[in-house]
C-alpha cells in the first residue's frame, strides 16, 4: 500500500481545566490516502474536532499533545515549530471551519480576506492579480454575482454564502488536504446538497484529499471512502460506508445508525429504550378541530426592512392547542423573521398576531416583555452559541427567565434548573461552565432547557437540532414530543431537516421568498406535494440510501 498523505498514530490529547487534566483524545489512529475522503463521525464531545485541531496545531492554549505521532507526507509534524508549520498550514493542509460566519473577519470585505490569503502564500502577487484570483475563487465555489460579493462583508451574506467564502479561502493556497468541520450545519437542504456537491467536485477535480467531520451519517454514506467512528475520545470502529451501514460492529455505531432519521422512520424508532427517559407512543395527529379557537393565529403578516425589502409577504396561518406545525424553506425564505415576529422580538409592518384570543401584534417588541403572555411564548434560537450570554454559566442562562418571569430564587430555582437540564440531557457537571467551555451540542441543550424553563404554551423552535449529533437529536426530539403530549405544548417547528419535520409535525408550511407556497397535513405535503418548489426540497434531502445499503453496492453520489 502506498504511503498515506496523513497518518495519525496513537494520538493522545489532554486539556488543563479547573478540575484537573482531562483526556479529550486517547490512542486515536487513522490515515488519509491521497485523493480519498475520510469521514469522522461521533457525538458532540467525542473528540472529532480535537483530533483534527491537533493535526493542524490549532488546539486551545489549555490543550496539548501528550502522546502519539502525526505525520504528513512522511514528515513528522507532531511537535513541529511554527516556522515548519508555516509551510504546512494552508499550502498543504487547509480547513473549512464549522461556523463559517464566525471564522470570517467581520471588518474586512470578502475580497480583502481572499487577497490576504493569496498574497500570504505568494508574495509576488500584486494587488490587481490577487483581486482577479480572488474573483476566480468565488466563481469556483459558485457564488451568485461574484463581482458584487468581493466588496461584501460577512454580515451581508447568507449562511450558505459564508460557507462558500470559507471554502474559497480554504482552497486559495491549493492545499493537498482539506479538512471540513461540520460544513453543512445550519444550512437548508438544498444549500447542504449544493455545498457538499461542490466540495466533492473541488476535491476530485484538484486531486485533493479530504477529512469530513460530521454528525450526519447520510453525508458520510454519500461522500466518504472510509469512515472512523469516535466515542468519548476513542476510535471504536473503522470501515467503508457500505460495511458501516449494513453490518456495524460496535454497539455505539449501531446506535448512531438507528438514530439517523429516514423518510420512513418514526420518532419512537430513533433511540432504543436504554437511551431514553420515557419512550413515546406512536403519535396521532392533533389537528385542530373545526370551529375550535387556535392558540395562535397569524393574519396577513408583513415585515418590511429598511430599503423596502420584504422579508415576509402577507403570511396567514393558525396553530391549534397542542398542535405541532412545521415551517420549512431555504435560507432567506423568511422562516426566522416570521419566528421572531411571532415571539415579539421584531415588530410587524402590517397584519396581526393573535395569541389565545388576544391581539399582540400591535404591542411593540420593546414593550412585550412586560406582557403577561411573555412567559407563554418562548423561542429556541437557531445559533446556540450567539444566543447565550458569554458571561453566564449554563445555570445562569437557564435560571434567567425563571428569575425574571417567575420570580424563583433559592432552592426552588436550583431544583427547576436541575430538572430542565436533566430533561434535555445536560449533565449537572456542565451547569457551572460558560458557553466557550461547551460543545455545540451542549450549548444547544442549554438553549432548549432555557426555553422550557417557564413552562410555555407555545414553543417556537428555530432549527433546534441543527447543531446536534444524531443520537442526541433523537433524544431531544423524543423529549420535545413527550413535553408536547404531557404539557399540552404547541409547536412552531422551523427546520431545514425535512425528515425531522415529517416525524414531528401534524401540518407543514412551506415558505419561499417570504410567502407560503404550500400548506397542509404533513403526510400529504411529503407524499404528494402540490408545489414544484416543495418537490425540489424533497429531492434534495440527503439520506442514507436504503436500497444501496441493502444491496451492498458502493454508495457514491
Summarize the chain as % helix, strand, coil (round to 5).
40, 25, 40
Which residues, other chains included, contact 40 with Cβ-Cβ below 8 Å and sequence gap of 6+? 30, 48, 51, 52, 211, 212, 213, 214, 227, 228, 230
Does any domain span residue 372? yes
pLDDT of 548: 40
Does any domain span residue 111? no
Judged against a pLDDT cut of 70, whether residue 260 lies above it is answered with no
Does any domain span residue 31? no
Judged against a pLDDT cut of 80, whether residue 309 lies above it is answered with no
pLDDT band at 1 (very low <50, low <70, confident <90, very high): low
Closest by CA position to 388, among listed 437, 327, 457, 461 = 437
DSSP letter assigned to residue 456? -
How far CA 93 is from CA of 55, 174, 185, 211, 407, in Å, comes to 9, 9, 22, 10, 53
Question: Averaged over 306-321, what is the pLDDT?
Answer: 88
Question: Averaged over 460-480, what is the pLDDT?
Answer: 75
DSSP E strand stretches across 432-546? 458-462, 490-494, 507-512, 515-521
pLDDT of 90: 58
Does any domain span residue 442? yes
Does any domain span residue 495? yes
3-state secondary structure of 513: coil
Judged against a pLDDT cut of 90, whether residue 480 lies above it is answered with no
* pLDDT tens digits, one per residue of 377-404: 999 887 777 789 999 999 999 999 999 8
Judged against a pLDDT cut of 50, whether residue 527 lies above it is answered with yes
Does any domain span residue 116? no
Judged against a pLDDT cut of 70, whether residue 66 lies above it is answered with yes
pLDDT of 458: 95
What range does the domain containing 355 cover? Answer: 296-540
The whole-angstrom separation of Cα 548 and Cα 546 is 6
DSSP letter assigned to residue 283? P
Comparison of pLDDT for 539 and 116, the residue scoring more: 116
Cβ 467 vs Cβ 435: under 8 Å: no
CATH number of 343's domain: 3.40.50.300
pLDDT of 87: 65
pLDDT band at 235 (very low <50, low <70, confident <90, very high): very high
* pLDDT tens digits, one per residue of 108-147: 999 999 999 898 888 788 888 999 999 999 988 878 788 8
State pTM to two decimals.
Answer: 0.68
Provide the greatest CA pair distance for the chain: 74
Number of domains within the chain:
1
pLDDT of 394: 95
* pLDDT tens digits, one per residue of 502-517: 888 999 999 998 999 9
Amino acid at each position: 500500500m502506498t504511503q498515506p498523505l496523513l497518518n495519525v498514530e496513537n494520538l493522545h490529547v489532554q486539556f488543563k481545566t479547573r478540575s484537573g487534566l482531562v483526556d479529550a483524545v486517547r490512542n486515536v489512529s487513522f490515515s488519509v490516502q491521497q485523493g480519498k475522503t475520510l469521514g469522522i463521525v461521533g457525538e458532540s464531545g467525542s473528540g472529532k474536532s480535537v483530533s483534527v485541531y491537533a493535526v493542524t496545531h490549532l488546539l486551545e492554549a489549555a490543550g496539548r499533545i501528550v502522546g502519539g505521532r502525526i505525520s504528513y507526507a512522511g514528515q513528522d509534524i507532531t511537535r513541529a515549530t511554527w516556522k515548519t508549520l508555516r509551510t504546512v498550514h494552508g499550502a498543504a493542509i487547509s480547513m473549512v471551519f464549522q461556523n463559517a460566519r464566525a471564522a470570517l473577519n467581520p471588518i474586512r470585505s470578502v475580497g480583502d480576506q481572499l487577497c490576504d490569503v493569496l498574497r500570504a502564500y505568494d508574495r509576488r502577487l500584486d494587488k490587481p492579480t490577487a483581486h482577479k484570483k480572488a474573483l476566480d475563487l468565488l466563481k469556483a465555489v459558485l457564488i451568485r454575482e461574484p463581482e458584487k460579493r468581493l466588496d461584501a462583508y460577512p454580515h451581508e451574506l447568507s449562511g450558505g454564502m459564508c460557507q462558500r467564502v470559507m471554502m474559497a479561502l480554504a482552497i486559495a493556497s491549493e492545499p493537498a488536504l482539506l479538512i471540513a468541520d461540520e460544513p453543512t450545519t445550519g444550512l437548508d437542504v438544498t444549500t447542504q446538497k449544493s455545498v457538499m456537491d461542490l466540495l466533492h467536485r473541488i476535491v476530485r477535480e484538484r486531486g485533493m484529499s479530504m477529512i469530513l467531520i460530521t454528525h450526519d451519517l447520510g453525508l458520510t454514506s454519500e461522500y466518504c471512502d472510509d469512515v472512523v467512528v469516535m466515542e468519548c475520545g476513542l476510535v471504536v470502529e473503522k470501515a467503508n460506508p457500505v460495511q458501516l451501514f449494513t453490518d456495524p460492529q460496535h454497539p455505539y455505531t449501531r446506535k448512531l445508525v438507528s438514530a439517523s432519521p429516514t423518510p420512513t422512520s418514526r420518532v419512537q424508532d430513533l433511540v432504543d429504550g436504554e437511551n431514553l427517559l420515557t419512550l413515546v407512543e406512536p403519535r396521532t395527529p392533533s389537528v385542530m378541530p373545526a370551529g375550535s379557537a387556535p392558540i395562535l393565529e397569524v393574519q396577513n403578516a408583513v415585515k418590511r426592512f429598511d430599503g423596502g425589502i420584504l422579508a415576509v409577504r402577507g403570511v396567514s396561518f393558525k396553530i391549534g392547542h397542542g398542535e405541532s406545525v412545521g415551517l420549512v424553506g431555504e435560507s432567506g425564505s423568511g422562516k426566522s423573521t416570521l419566528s421572531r415576529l411571532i415571539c415579539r422580538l421584531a415588530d410587524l409592518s402590517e397584519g396581526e398576531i393573535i395569541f389565545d384570543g388576544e391581539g399582540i401584534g400591535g404591542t411593540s417588541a420593546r414593550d412585550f416583555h412586560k406582557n403577561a403572555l411573555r412567559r407563554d411564548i418562548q423561542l429556541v434560537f437557531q445559533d446556540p452559541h450567539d444566543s447565550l450570554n458569554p458571561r453566564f454559566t449554563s445555570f445562569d442562562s437557564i435560571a434567567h427567565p425563571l428569575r425574571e418571569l417567575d420570580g424563583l430564587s433559592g432552592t426552588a430555582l436550583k431544583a427547576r434548573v436541575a430538572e430542565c437540564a436533566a430533561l434535555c440531557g445536560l449533565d449537572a457537571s456542565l451547569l457551572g461552565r460558560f458557553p466557550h467551555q461547551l460543545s455545540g451540542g451542549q450549548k444547544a441543550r442549554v438553549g432548549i432547557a432555557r426555553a422550557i424553563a417557564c413552562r410555555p404554551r407555545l414553543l417556537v423552535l428555530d432549527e433546534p437540532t441543527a447543531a446536534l449529533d444524531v443520537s442526541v437529536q433523537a433524544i431531544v426530539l423524543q423529549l420535545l414530543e413527550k413535553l408536547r403530549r404531557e404539557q399540552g405544548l404547541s409547536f412552531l417547528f422551523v427546520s431545514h431537516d425535512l425528515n425531522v419535520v415529517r416525524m414531528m409535525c401534524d401540518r407543514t408550511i412551506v415558505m419561499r421568498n417570504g410567502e407560503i407556497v404550500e400548506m397542509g397535513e404533513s403526510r400529504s405535503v411529503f407524499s404528494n406535494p402540490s408545489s414544484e418548489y416543495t418537490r425540489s426540497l424533497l429531492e434534495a434531502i440527503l439520506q442514507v440510501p436504503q436500497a444501496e445499503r441493502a444491496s451492498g453496492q458502493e454508495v457514491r453520489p
